């Protein structure tokens, strides 16, 4: 069996999560909008899942809306803030996920929104002083959109600080929390934010289901019209078993957070130490200290004939890891994140992302495989 170290791309569906979903694919098949017993049963499961998400974020259930993906959630937040909240300026960074960056390009081209990108240092840290300076200019209604943790290099923003700055300067704050939901505590009361997004398949839930948190004070309008689902915010019959799975997966992620985290951190440290010993020239990209997603390690190697084909060679050696970002056609592009942090073009990087299912033996085998490829 190949070793899977690409958990930031997607995670395997947890067996307990699957078990929670199956009844909603079989006997509990009612339409949640139907008022009879079959419908009510499914409605009640969806509302339970909503309460689970709300509880873990310290939000209220009325602030959680289920979507098809985090891509949809991020689009909703950004387009809604421009169309419905009067946002004319958006502050962001060039290392956001494409579902944010391409939406920003659209808003700039089609709605005349002014987009300002914060400077990033070599580790992908934003400049909080620059953010504060930009926020001092109150001539435009402003939204700040910054991802909680970058998916390629793991660098995180200081969420509390960004939230505080946005609040102090009356700017809206959206954060793509796809890589941190279920891995870090998120408390929307302690650290106010207007919009957050999550995606079940990143925390051992099913694909095709996500959510958006919309702070109750921000009245954005629906983008899909039809039935009155999701309290009129998103028309279309709900992905009931997906939503049930999302709720179960999130509950398991938060119940087991400390245990999973400790295991993953120890694997990551073992991997770093092993690579430092096995390879002559290895670097780790992204913040490795206080603002680091413990589940991601971006390994940078000198560019050689061997490292150019690193993901391919690892695949042959039985290890699934990631270079660049795979787009829907499967083509691999040079990474916009590495370009945004001005990484050394003479080096090649490969991202490893871990889960609680990974073992020390898998880490050791991967170190050996890398050493064999490179040396």
Ligand X SMILES: Cc1ncc(COP(=O)(O)O)c(C=O)c1O
Contact residues for ligand X (CB under 6 A)? 69-71, 97, 99, 147, 151, 176, 178-179, 199, 210
Tell me 119's DSSP state: P
CB 17, min distance to ligand X, A: 16
Contacts of residue 343, Cβ cutoff 8 Å, sequence gap at least 6: 122, 285, 300, 349
The least CB distance from residue 196 to ligand X, in Å, is 11
Locus of tokens 């102090």: 168
Q: What's the rounded Cα separation, in Å, for the pair 2 and 9?
A: 16
Q: How far is the CB of 198 from ligand X (least distance, A)?
A: 8
Which residue among 166, 194, 292, 327 is the active-site one?
327
Question: Of 50 and 97, which has the nearer Cβ to ligand X?
Answer: 97
Choose between 178 and 321: whose C-beta lies nearer to ligand X.
Answer: 178
Provide φ and ψ at 261, rounded to 5°. -60, -45
Tokens of 273: 């130490």
Nearer to ligand X, 70 or 369 (CB): 70
Nearer to ligand X by Cβ, of 21 and 367: the residue is 21
- Strand partners for 89: 114, 142
Per the rule left: phi > 0, alpha: psi between -120 and 50, beta: everything else, 321 is beta
Active site (annotated) includes residue 99: no
Q: Calculate the alpha carbon distances from 251 to 48, 57, 238 in Å.
A: 11, 11, 20
Work out how close the CB of 277 gets to ligand X at its nearest, in angstroms, rounded to a whole number: 31
Tell the smallest beta-carbon distance from residue 27 to ligand X (Å): 28
Secondary structure letter of residue 294 according to DSSP = T
Q: How far apart are CA 314 and CA 319, in angstroms?
A: 5
Residue 133 φ then ψ, to 5°:
-60, -45
Of 199 and 358, which has the nearer Cβ to ligand X? 199
- Point out the residues that are catalytic: 327
């Amino acid at each position: 069996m190949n070793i899977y170290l690409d958990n930031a791309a997607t995670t395997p569906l947890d067996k307990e999560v699957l078990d929670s979903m199956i009844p909603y694919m079989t006997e509990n098949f009612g339409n949640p909008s139907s008022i009879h017993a079959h419908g009510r049963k499914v409605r009640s499961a969806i509302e339970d899942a909503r309460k689970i998400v709300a509880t873990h974020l310290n939000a209220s259930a009325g602030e959680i809306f289920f979507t098809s993906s985090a891509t949809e959630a991020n689009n909703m937040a950004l387009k809604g803030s421009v169309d419905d909240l009067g946002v004319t300026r958006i502050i962001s960074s060039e290392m956001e996920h494409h579902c944010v960056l391409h939406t920003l390009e659209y808003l700039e081209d089609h709605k005349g929104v002014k987009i300002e990108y914060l400077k990033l240092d070599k580790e992908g840290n934003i400049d909080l002083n620059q953010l504060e300076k930009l926020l001092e200019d109150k001539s435009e209604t402003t939204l700040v959109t910054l991802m909680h943790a970058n998916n390629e290099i793991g660098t995180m923003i200081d969420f509390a600080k960004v939230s505080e700055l946005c609040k102090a300067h009356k700017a809206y704050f959206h954060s793509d929390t796809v890589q941190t939901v279920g891995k870090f505590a998120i408390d929307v009361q302690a650290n106010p934010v207007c919009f957050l997004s999550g995606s079940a398949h990143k925390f051992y839930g099913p694909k095709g289901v996500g959510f958006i948190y919309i702070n109750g004070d921000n009245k954005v309008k629906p983008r899909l019209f039809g039935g009155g689902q999701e309290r009129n915010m998103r028309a279309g019959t709900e992905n009931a078993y997906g939503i049930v799975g999302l709720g179960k997966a999130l509950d398991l992620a938060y119940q087991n957070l400390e245990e999973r985290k400790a295991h993953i951190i120890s694997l990551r440290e073992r991997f770093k130490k092993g690579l430092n010993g096995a390879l002559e020239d290895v670097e780790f990209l992204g913040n490795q200290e206080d603002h680091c997603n413990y589940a991601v390690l971006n390994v940078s190697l000198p560019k050689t004939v061997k490292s150019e084909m690193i993901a391919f060679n690892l695949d042959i050696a039985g290890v699934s890891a990631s270079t660049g970002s795979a787009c829907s056609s499967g083509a691999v592009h040079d990474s916009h994140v590495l370009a945004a942090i001005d990484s050394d073009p003479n080096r090649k990087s490969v991202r490893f992302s871990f889960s609680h299912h990974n073992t020390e033996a898998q880490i050791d085998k991967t170190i050996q495989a890398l050493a064999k490829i490179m040396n």
